[in-house]
Structure 1
């Protein structure tokens, strides 16, 4: 029997969807079933089952899935999230889910969130905020010891399921989360990802299994779920916000897809077939991408170095840059600008919208580095930077063009005054390491940084906090200690780079 797009006539056979659901479980999720084939004679062995977490909103989709799991004999813990976005309607949904869980005697966890307040704090849309809150909470429940739940996440009911598996097996920690995403959700996700420019991975839309998330209804049409719900007299509640086209997904659902169906009656089947092809094409794409990554990617400490020459020769720079930067919150729209760095001079850069990462041209490489001082083990400083935070404090940079003979020497180890003539940007600020050397101010011979620190009576803890500042691979300052003699200022210095170090309190 084909698992795809079967028409379900509930009047003829009410059990057809349940049978199809069991086939999907057997085909896609055999590890969930209570019996497994073992040995050469393929005898059945009873598994020790762990409960599923089931996301239950109270809507038709999740209520049908809850009943299907119940009828299939798979233990589940229902989880309902109340985001307090719809006033009395949100309270109604929560009360309804409680009543249904009590009726079926399934365990239930309810969690409330102030989504509007979080959206303001995180500077995210309500949709994005609710999704993050929801999935962060679901993930926190996985692997939790349900035998010792405190009052904050109380299991509100209990059951003996139809397969005779008593209660929940020892109340073991759930291993997977199951959601009721169906064929319509899959198609909407495909279109959303296409319009957002997420690449070939996004065109594959959702998978049946993505890490800990299971989606058994992805190829079941909503109309089939609706017929089953009516035939089995399964109650549900309607979310009025689902009718609002202010939300992008609802706009696709109520405006775009109906218009497409008028012109292309079988558009759902076509788009669903496309997601399968995109998923398979994505496997081939990933294999090719992995081969490029081995040649192109070079990680040094916390920085990703991308060869400018290899990117230019590949003729795939747009795609390779997108794959390298998308996980660091660079937008698809920024990639064309990032690509211009391949032709730019050293020091040119672009930050992601959140100002958490920077991609910078540094001679033969594009270098991706975190801007958060807590994360950065190495900091790239552009010529346009006037202040830079890092793990030990703050550097303030000032370019000075002195009148001849007017430079006042500041006798302070927290201040470096350097001749700009031989300084090349970007500067590299990093922790010192064994083998580093420089020419301490006032000395003509080089000295290892380790020896210099020891001679200056710095202890092990103090040494661990020392950073150095480099230009074109040469140390110009052991920060807070001493500049390099090769960059000292003189009466003939036409431009001076003054850097002040303020130690973190």
Structure 2
């Protein structure tokens, strides 16, 4: 007899979906997903069937597709299917066949779900899949999140069979006489998951015949520990992460008080993509090596004096902007530059974002751009040339902000102005100046 009562109770306890929801059931044709479809039908839920043909097993894959099509027809539900060139995708994206299939499958499920208005996507994972996932995570290295296994609900993905073991599914399928397809690749031990399934877990079950029940009990404890940890980290984020524009500042003194420091600092930095290896290196330089920079895919972390500064990376330096004699304002990065021509030798004072320049020295077109290695100029008040990199150090410009400083360059290649910091000595207004050009930056 189908375990409809247990099925409905598990769905309700985990708030997976309700009879009012529209469900897209991912059905491969295998034992697990076929049982899920029959349970959804028997329980009276509103669902459709979705099937992916990965074109990896020739006629067998086509037969699986036809089987699921007929299953949908027999059940009187809508059927969605797609054919993938999995091998081509894997080659193009330099990923394994398994990862390629996973990426394409979930992307397509989302597309169908959005276009046809499905509320959730039902997947047929069971308790043994969870055990395999945890063992894989432990083998590869994982944080506490890797120990909670497969969650019953993750966004719009739901797994209503997690209350069943593989043996229970096999027993139900046999008792009900339900037909299904068998993927021959499931028996191959060349894949890590199958190796665990066929070689490792049977040995573990010899040591503990109630392995599934033991894992289920441990999973509850791991999930509760994760909830406690996340609650602690949420409180620390509110207390320690100070937002300054597009930057995040964290006091090093406060970091030194954390216990356990490594775990909590990793969780604080997790959203910014910094790895555990970076956290290990970071802890060794805290308070001792200001100026060290660490990078993740999207962020830069600077160890400043007394604080960490996290800022988003610019994907590329902003393109240089050309300025003609007729331009009165141009946009660059997060700035607008206004240009004013004046017949009187006016000198702008007390505004670091504005300068007066001897107009007769300008060679158009001018350029507004980011700094470059090798840039030099004559800072106002100095008679000698200075490297721009050294100037930034003397001005204590944080490393992560250097690329955002607008540099005004003359047509002859001279740097006229390091925007917001210093005019060039060679372009200042003098007693001989007859006409000035005023440049003013406005931060957007």
Preserved CA contact (<8 Å) 1:362 1:426: no
Of 301, 310, 313, 1:368 maps to 310
Partner of 1:11: none
Stretches of structure 1 lacking an aligned partner (at least 5 in a row): 1-13, 34-48, 147-172, 377-389, 401-406, 446-453, 466-505
Does the 8 Å contact 2:17/2:120 carry over to 1? no
Q: 1:55 to 1:428 in 2, by over 3 A?
A: same
| Residue in structure 2 matched with residue 22 of structure 1 by the alignment | 8
Structure-2 residue corresponding to 1:238: 182
- 8 Å contact from structure 2 (residues 165, 212) kept in 1: no
Tell me how large the CA RMSD over aligned residues is: 3.5
Is the 1:346–1:426 contact (alpha carbons within 8 Å) kept by the matching residues of 2? no
Per-residue deviation at 1:457?
A: 7.4
The answer to whether the 8 Å contact 1:321/1:335 transfers is yes
| Maintained 8 Å contact 1:53/1:76 | yes
1:396 aligns with 2:372: yes
Label 1:372 to 1:30 Cα distance change in 2 as closer, same or farther (>3 A): closer
Distance in 2, Cα, partners of 1:83 & 1:219: 28
In the alignment, is the contact (CA less than 8 A) between 1:341 and 1:349 conserved in 2?
no
2:394 alignment partner, one of 406, 417, 422: 422
Helix, strand or coil at the partner of 1:70: helix
1:127 equivalent to 2:98? Answer yes
| Structure 2 counterpart of 1:207, from 139, 142, 151 | 151
Counterpart for residue 76 of structure 2: 105
Quote how far apart the aligned CAs of 1:62 are: 0.5
Structure 1 residue 437: Cα displacement: 4.8
Alignment coverage as a number of residue pairs:
371
TM-score (norm 2): 0.73
What pairs with 1:23-42 in structure 2 (closer than 5 Å)? 23-29=9-15, 32-33=18-19
Q: Distance in 2 between matches of 1:342 and 1:262?
A: 49
Contact 2:317–2:403 (8 Å) recurs in 1: no
Report the counterpart of residue 354 of structure 2 in structure 1: none
- C-alpha displacement of 1:32: 0.8
Secondary structure of the 1:78 match is strand
When residues 124 and 30 of structure 1 are mapped into structure 2, their CA distance, relative to the original with a 3 A threshold, is: closer
Deviation at 1:177, TM superposition (A): 1.1
Moved more, 230-239 or 188-197: 188-197
Structure 1 residue aligned with 2:251: 307
For the pair 1:291 / 2:235, whether they are aligned, the reply is yes
Deviation at 1:63, TM superposition (A): 0.6
Q: Please say if residues 356 and 370 of structure 1, whose CA atoms lie closer than 8 Å, have aligned partners that are also in contact.
A: yes
Match of residue 219 from structure 1: 163
Q: Distance in 2 between matches of 1:372 and 1:125?
A: 30
CA displacement, residues 13-70 of structure 1 (integer Å, 9 cap, x when unaligned): x24x12321332343338513xxxxxxxxxxxxxxx2320111111110010001101
Deviations 1:212-254 (A, max 9, x none): 1111111211111111112222211122222233322222212
Shift of 1:328: 4.1
Partner of 1:181: 125
Mapped partners of 2:223, 2:94: distance in 1: 32
Does the 8 A contact of 1:53 with 1:174 survive in 2?
A: yes
Distance 1:101 1:31 in 2: 21
The residue aligned with 2:364 is none
Gap change, CA 1:364 and 1:240, over 3 Å in 2: farther
1:347-358, aligned counterparts within 5 Å?
347-352=291-296, 355-358=297-300
- How far the C-alpha of 1:185 sits from its partner, in A, is 0.9
Gaps spanning 5+ residues in structure 2: where? 319-332, 335-367, 377-382, 407-418, 429-436
After TM superposition, the structure 1 = structure 2 runs for residues 135-284 of structure 1, keeping only pairs within 5 Å, are 135-144=106-115, 146=116, 173-284=117-228
Of the three residues 412, 436, 439, the one matched with 1:456 is: 439
Partner SS, residue 304 of structure 1 = strand
What residue is the counterpart of 1:440 in the other structure?
A: 423
Partner SS, residue 401 of structure 2: strand
Of the three residues 352, 355, 359, the one matched with 2:301 is: 359
Q: 1:374 to 1:134 in 2, by over 3 A?
A: farther
SS at match of 1:202: helix
TM-score, normalisation: structure 1: 0.65
Q: In structure 2, how many angstroms separate the alpha carbons of the residues matched to 1:393 and 1:255?
A: 61
Secondary structure at the counterpart of residue 228 of structure 2: helix
